[in-house]
Structures are given as structure tokens and as C-alpha cells.
Amino acid sequence: MNEPLHKPEARIARFIRTNLPAILQHWDEFARTIPAARHMPAERLRDHAAGILAAIADDLDQPQSASEQADKARGHAKLHQADTQAELHGTGRMNDGFSANDTVAEFRALRASVMRLWADADHAAAELANDDLIRFNESIDQALSESLQAYFIEKDEVTHRFDTLLSSTPDLQYIVDVDGNILYANQALARLLGTPASEHRLADFCPGYAAQLGRDLHAVAETRATGRGELECILADGTTHTYRYILMPVINQDGTVDALTGTARNISELKASEAQILRNAYYDSLTGLPNRILFRERLEHDVRRAARTEFALALLFIDLDGFKEVNDRFGHDTGDLLLQQCAQRLQACVRATDTVARIGGDEFTVILNEVSRIAFVEVLVCQILAELARPFSIAGKEVRVSGSIGITVCPQDAHQSEDLLRNADQAMFVAKHAGRNRFSYFTPDIRDSAWARLRVIDELRQALARCELQVHYQPIVDLASNAIVKAEALVRWRRPDGTLVLPQQFIGVAEETGLIGEIDAWVLSQAVPCAMRLGELTGAPFQISVNKSPAGFMSRLIGHTWDEDMALLDRVGARIAVEITEGVLLDDSPGVRDKLARLQRAGVQFTIDDFGIGYSSMAYLNKFKVDFLKIDQSFVKDMLTTNPNSQIFAETIIAMAHRLGLKVIAEGVETVGQRDWLRQAGCDYAQGFLFSPATTEERFAQLLQAGAA
């Protein structure tokens, strides 16, 4: 059965439409008291209100059943099917930051404005209570209800979106009151807290920092400045994590602060990688010891501190002896393990306040602080030497090295860290050259001779560039015929002022610095054409021996000259004999073996120099084709005077060489007696001052043409 419809009464609708500007102006004044509306442009405020009033006026024009009217009074009827003006209003106000109360207040103001103007419009008081007014109120209630419903739907959606956003991050996000009680926690924080987050305080996820967080929260609330901090907490799984947190005040419109918002980020990985970067920059990755950079910083710091106390500081420079051989014999991995064990042994010898550092391949330094008596340093150094010389057990193998140690003392020897390091290095060098496995104190003499050595290195480099080196040739005589049959090329260094520098004054330095490679190559480049010229002179191939230093065989530095050597030697073959020491043949490394094989393929002959004073293992004579043995001059020198054993050695070498099909050359022959003895012992060749010292090619050619030395 159809309900009776109310006849439309359009008086208020008409009134609203006719008086809209006045109603809005009235409402406007009222609305201005709403805090959130204060900063909004007047038109936007009015547009919303005008829209709602228009919708209400339209509604009032519609016929209504009694139940529709009742529903409206409770806000349960919908004005239209599509989104109503009121719903749009609610959504808009939510997004404009209005509170629900503000939104309700707007409707109250609208209602009051219409009613006030309606009353002022001179209508009869009785008429005020008529259906129009009731319908108007019902409509406004319905609109208010729709607006609020839309407002809360929008609010829920926005909250959900924010919650999703905040929960998608692994960072902890929170809103807390000033005492740290949680008002909101995102999922990451809620998971850490376990039980509902609202039952917790922020510090509950990190109880050890409750006091710090409490202080920070109050400071932020008071100062309104953003607070920052770091805390470290042990999580439920027992792992320790570092969090960096931010706290920001939520400032109310009246300027007060009841809540704070913030995030806390787990920076444990960042911290770990920062620590790793720091370790890489300051620590040696193999041994874990401070590296050169940190060592320098500590030394500078310790030197400054020592200057403020009455204590001395001692600096030790330790270089392992024979470490290269460990690498060569057992492999680089064993070398690495040895360095690690050395580091541990060194560390175990010193106090926690001292520094052990690895500053290079097999070089370590030790800073000893607060040295009251130098005797203590010496005791410690002896202990270190003993520790390094004690066999190492690496992967089931026994490996042995030793150490050479230089010691310098601050302030006695120097005040600057740079000078101290140089002193200790120079003193180590002295210990090494005095026979290794020992220590040496720095002295001014050491500095002087180190400077002299540096000067020689410098001058030698220049000598090579300025062609100050010369090659002299010493005749090698056939003892049976007394004829010159070969020569040994020997390098000389004549300074521009005419002074001659003897080989023993620069060959050692050249070997240490790798310059020997260049020198050997240069000598060869002179000897090869000389051998050709002398051959033309005599009408038969003439052989010159050149020395090839062990460093020249082993050093990688001079690799570039090796190919140049071979280019020359491939052309001349047996006109060149290469003199090498036993040590070269004992070196089992592939690099040396390869070089010897290349020389042999070129047809070059080999002389073992200084035979009898080195390892004399002789096993290599079986493996490697040698052409000549050179009896060291030390045997020749005293064979007829002080040491008859030298004769026995010489006889033995000659007999053995001949049985192996090798020829023997005696060097350092100075007397007729020595020559005659060697001849009757069966020695094949000899060289020495008795025949001629090394001389220029011109003089040598004259000797050769004269037919005898």
C-alpha cells in the first residue's frame, strides 16, 4: 500500500535560494571560527556551503513519505543515488585536514544561519514550527550524516594507505606521546614488540636505552627541534643490531606538543661495512696487523706522547731473511701463512700498548712505548729473533726463516717519525748485511754509509745514462801453448774526472737495486761485436766470457733486457760464454730454468764462476751442460804458500772436470810458480795479472797479435 506523500512545501527552499548570499555571509562569519577553516580561501568555504544548501533546497522540493522523513531525521535516508553534495563535502573536508568536529560544526553553522535569517524574515512564530522547519532540519541532519560517513570512509582509506606505506618499510615508524607510550607503531616495530604495540613504550624494544630515549623525547618536546641518536639492542634471536633513530615533535595548532613521530633504521650492515672500509684502510688484510698508514699515525702520536714524558720510544724494523725462498720452495700460500704466524709471534712478544705493524711484503715494525732502559729493548729483540728463528709448522711442513732487526731510539737518534723509520730501516740493512738473524742499533755511521750508498746508486744511474762505463778484456791463456785463446769481459766505471771506480764498489749496489740487469746487458752489447772483431783479427772464432749476475737471472725488473740479450746471442752462439755462479744452477725456479734453456739453445757456452766456494752440490753438473769450471782465485792465491789444501782442492776440481768432459780455467794467477803448478796439474786455461790485467780492446788486440800474453 502506498504511503501518502507530503505535499511539497517549498517555502524554505525558496527562502534559501532567494537569500543565499545573505545566508552564506552569515554562515561565513560563523565558519571562520572553525580552526581548520581559518586558512582556507573564502570561495572554497562558500562553494561547499552553497552546494549543500542547493542540494537541501532541491530535496525540500521533493514529495516525501512519512518513513522517508523519519529516516532522514536519523540520517538513514540517502538524498540521491549518485554521490551527494554532502558526501563530496565530507571527503573534501577530510582531505583538507578538517577534524570530524570541524565538519559537524560547519553543518551546525549552516543550520543556525538559515534559521536566524528565517526568523529575522518576519514570519509568524507559529509558522516557525511548521513542517518546513522540520523538513529543513531533517534534510540538514541527513546531509550531515552523509558528510560524516564519507568523511570517515575517506579517513579510513587514508589511514589504511599510510599504514600500508609505513608497514612496507623495514624501518621502525612510530608515534609516541611525550613519555614514550606508543600511539602508533608500524608493522616492523609491532613485530619487534610482540604484544599489541599500544601496550608498549618505545624503549621496550631496546630496554638498555630507556633512559637515553626518555631524555631525548623530553628534549624534543621542549625544544621542538628534531632529535637524533643511535642505540644498540639485542633482538629476540640474540643478535645485536644498531639503530639510528629520529624524533620529531608533532606541534598542535595551539603550539603544544603531545606527541612525537619518528623512524628508527637498522644500520648494522652499514656499520659493518663502514668498519670494514676502516679496516681495509688501516689494517693489513693478511695478518690483521696495522698497515703502513696506521703505523705512521701511531708512530707520530707515540713520538709526541714520548716527548711529554721522561720515557724513550724504541722503533724496530724487522725484515724476514730468506722469505723469498719460502715462497719459491713451498708456494705463495705457504708464504702467506708464514707471514700470519710471524705476525702472531711478534704480537705475542710485546705489550698491548706497543704496536706491531706490517708495512710491506716481509717487513714488520714494532713501536715500543715507555722504554725506561734500553737493555729491556735488547732482551725483547733477542726474544723476537728467537721466536722468528723457531721452526714454523705450516700444513704439516717445517718452514724456517729468521729476522734481521734494526733498532732506533727516540729522542736519542731522532725526534721525527720519518727520521726514526729511516734510521731503523738503515740499521736493519746493516744487520742483514752483517749476516742476517741479528739486530743492529742505528748509529750516525750507519746513516753516513747509507747516504754514501744512495749516492753511489744515484751516480751509477747517471753513469749508465752518460756512458761512463767501459768494458775491459782480460786475456785467458791456454796453459799448454801459452797463447791467448779467450777473454773475459769486465766492466769498469770511469768517472768524468778520470777516477776509476772498482767493480767491488758498485756491483753489490747494482745487484741490490736491479741496475745489474742493465749493466750486464750493456756489457754483452759491447762484448758481442768485440768478439766478432777479434775473430776477424785472428782468422778464427774468438770467444769472450760475460758475467751474468744471479740477480739478472732472477729479477723480474730486467725482463725487458733479456730479449735484447737473446737477440744478440742467437746470432753469435759459442763466441760468447756466459759465466754464472753455482747459485743460479741451484735455483730451481721455472723462470731461471727457462732462461738457461734459451741460452743453451742459442749455442752459448757456460762457465761456472767461483767454483768450489759456493754450495758445490755438483748434482747440477749432471743435469745441466756446463763447458768450463773456473777455479776460484782464493785457491790459487795460497796454493803454494799458506794453504797446501788448496792444491788438493784444485787437483780434485781439475780431475773431476776432466772426467766429466769439462775444461778448467784458473783465475787470479799472479806468479810463474802458480802457472807452472797449474800446468803440471793439468789445468787447461788461466787468467791473472801474470798474463795481463783487464785492458782496453785496442791493447787486447795488440796482445793478441803479439801472439802471447
Half-sphere exposure of 291 (CA within 13 A, CB side): 11
Q: How far is the CB of 209 from ligand GTP (least distance, A)?
A: 43
Residue of the chain from 286, 349, 457, 501 that contacts ligand GTP (CB under 6 A): 286
Q: Does 288 bind ligand GTP (CB under 6 A)?
A: no
Nearer to ligand GTP, 191 or 324 (CB): 324
Q: Where does this chain touch ligand GTP (CB under 6 A) — which range of 12-20, 38-46, 101-109, 334-342? A: 334-342
Choose among 705, 695, 678, 704: nearest CA to 488: 695
Q: Which of 353, 402, 350, 346 is nearest to 377 (CA)?
A: 350
Residue closer to ligand GTP by CB (options 517, 668) is 517
CB of 345 to ligand GTP, least distance (A): 16
Print the binding letters for residues 4-23 with ligand GTP: x by CB under 6 A, - otherwise.
--------------------
CA angle 418, 419, 420 (to 5 degrees): 90
- Binding segment (CB under 6 A) for ligand GTP, from list 23-31, 329-337, 410-418, 690-698: 329-337
Q: Which stretch binds ligand GTP (CB under 6 A): 288-296, 321-329, 349-357, 682-690?
A: 321-329
Task: Round to whole Å and give the CA distance between 115 and 128.
Answer: 9
Nearest to 417 by CA among 318, 310, 292: 292
Provide φ and ψ at 357, rounded to 5°.
-130, 155
The least distance separating ligand GTP from the CB of residue 375, rounded to whole angstroms, comes to: 27
Q: Residue 554 or residue 657: which is nearer to ligand GTP going by CB?
A: 554
CB distance 357 to 364 below 8 Å: yes
**How many residues in the shown chain lie near ligand GTP by CB under 6 A?**
16
* H or E stretch covering 453: helix 444-465
Smallest gap from Cβ 399 to ligand GTP, in A, equals 11
**Gap between the Cα atoms of 541 and 354, Å rounded:** 67
- For 191, the grid coordinates are 613485530
- Please enumerate in sequence order all residues whose Cβ is within 8 A of that of 168, keeping only pairs 6 or more positions apart, or say none: none
Q: Is the CB of residue 216 less than 8 Å from the CB of residue 223?
A: no
Q: Which residue, 207 or 331, is less far from ligand GTP as judged by CB?
A: 331
Name the residue type at position 548. K
CA distance 368 to 352: 10
The CB-of-333 to ligand GTP minimum distance in angstroms stands at: 7
Question: Which residue, 241 or 324, is less far from ligand GTP as judged by CB?
Answer: 324
- Compute how many other C-beta atoms are within 10 angstroms of the C-beta atom of residue 90: 27
Rounded to whole angstroms, the Cα distance separating 29 from 26 reads 6
321 binds ligand GTP (CB under 6 A): yes
Q: Which of 141, 319, 609, 667 binds ligand GTP (CB under 6 A)?
A: 319
Among 15, 174, 317, 323, binds ligand GTP (CB under 6 A): 323
What is the DSSP annotation of 355-370?
A: EEEEEETTEEEEEEEE
How far apart (Å, rounded) are the C-alpha atoms in residues 151 and 106? 13
Residue choice 116, 218, 271, 324 for contact with ligand GTP (CB under 6 A)? 324
54-113: contacts with ligand GTP (CB under 6 A)? none
Which residues neighbour 304 within 8 Å (Cβ) at sequence distance 6 or greater? none
Of the pair 555, 647, the CB lying nearest ligand GTP is at 555
Part in contact with ligand GTP (CB under 6 A); list of ranges 143-151, 327-335, 573-581, 649-657: 327-335
Q: Indicate the residue among 286 and 532 with the shorter CB distance to ligand GTP.
A: 286
Nearest CB to ligand GTP, comparing residues 90 and 403: 403
Minimum separation from the CB atom of position 424 to ligand GTP (A): 15
In whole angstroms, what is the distance from residue 4 CA to residue 66 CA? 8
Neighbouring-strand partners of residue 394: 397
Q: How far is the CB of 536 from ligand GTP (least distance, A)?
A: 44
Nearer to ligand GTP, 200 or 422 (CB): 422
Using the rule CB under 6 A, which residue among 96, 336, 378, 419 binds ligand GTP?
336
Q: Measuring CA to CA, how many Å separate 193 from each of 178, 186, 203?
A: 19, 11, 10
175 forms bridges with which residues in the sheet?
184, 261
The span of 193-201, 330-338, 449-457, 488-496 binding ligand GTP (CB under 6 A) equals 330-338
Report, in Å, the least distance between residue 614 CB and ligand GTP: 17
Q: Contact region for ligand GTP (CB under 6 A) — 89-97, 335-343, 482-490, 684-692?
A: 335-343
**Closest of 578, 574, 654 to residue 611, by C-alpha:** 654
Of 294, 239, 227, 288, which is closest to residue 266 (Cα–Cα)? 239
Examine residue 335 and tell whether it contacts ligand GTP (CB under 6 A): yes
Nearest to 681 by CA among 641, 642, 614, 635: 635
Nearer to ligand GTP, 214 or 550 (CB): 550
Residue among 62, 167, 327, 344 that touches ligand GTP (CB under 6 A): 327
Distance, CA of 440 to CA of 377 (rounded, Å): 12
Q: Is the separation of the CB atoms in 160 and 92 below 8 Å?
A: no
Greatest CA separation for the chain? 162
DSSP, res 2: P
Q: How far is the CB of 338 from ligand GTP (least distance, A)?
A: 7
Provide, rounded to whole angstroms, the least separation between the CB of residue 612 and ligand GTP. 24
Which residue lies nearer to ligand GTP by CB, 88 or 320? 320
Q: Which is nearer to ligand GTP, 358 or 663 (CB)?
A: 358
Q: Which is nearer to ligand GTP, 386 or 501 (CB)?
A: 386
Residue type, position 448, single letter: D
Touching ligand GTP, residues 453-492 (CB under 6 A): none
Quick one: which of 71, 102, 131, 325 contacts ligand GTP (CB under 6 A)?
Answer: 325
The three three-digit cell numbers of residue 621, written as one number: 753438473
Closest CA to 357 of 370, 367, 372: 367
In the bound state with ligand GTP, the residue whose beta carbon lies nearer, of 32 and 332, is 332
Beta pairing, strands 402-410 & 397-399: unpaired
Peptide bond into 411 cis (omega under 30): yes
Cβ-based nearer residue to ligand GTP, 428 or 527: 428
Contact characters 426-455, ligand GTP, x per CB under 6 A: ------x-----------------------
Smallest gap from Cβ 359 to ligand GTP, in A, equals 11
Question: Could you give the string, one character per residue 361-380, with x where binding to ligand GTP holds by CB under 6 A and - elsewhere?
Answer: xx------------------
Distance of closest approach, residue 510 Cβ to ligand GTP, in angstroms: 16
SS3 category, 163: helix
Q: Select from 660, 672, 673, 682 the least CA-distant residue to 709.
A: 672
CB nearer to ligand GTP: pick between 336 and 627? 336
Element (H, E) at 433: helix 417-433
Closer residue to ligand GTP, CB minimum distance, 322 or 503: 322
φ and ψ of 106, to 5 deg: -60, -45
What's the min distance (Å) between Cβ of 594 and ligand GTP? 18
**Of the ranges 13-21, 168-176, 306-314, 316-324, which one interacts with ligand GTP (CB under 6 A)?**
316-324
Question: For binding to ligand GTP (CB under 6 A), which residues are involved?
Answer: 286, 319-325, 327, 332, 335-336, 339, 361-362, 432
